[in-house]
Amino acid sequence: MDKLDYYPKSIKKAVRYMKQDASREELLEIRDLINNAIINRINRIDKETRTQKENAYEL
């Protein structure tokens, strides 16, 4: 089974588009968009984790 099978349909379609139709410029733009989204999500998760730990210590 392909690793891609575990992700939502939208991810599969995006990857297929990148492999088949995207120009170099589009790929660079997509890379920036995805990297920024990943960084933002990781930062949000880290912040939530720190908040949960701080709240646990207050109890």
Residue ranges per structural domain of the chain: 23-59
- Length of the chain, in residues: 59
Q: For residue 59, what pLDDT is reported?
A: 61
Chain mean pLDDT for the chain: 92
Instruction: Indicate the pTM of the whole model.
Output: 0.76
Q: For residue 54, what pLDDT is reported?
A: 82
C-alpha torsion sign, points 34, 36, 39, 45: negative
Q: Report CA Rg, the chain.
A: 17
Q: For residue 57, what pLDDT is reported?
A: 74
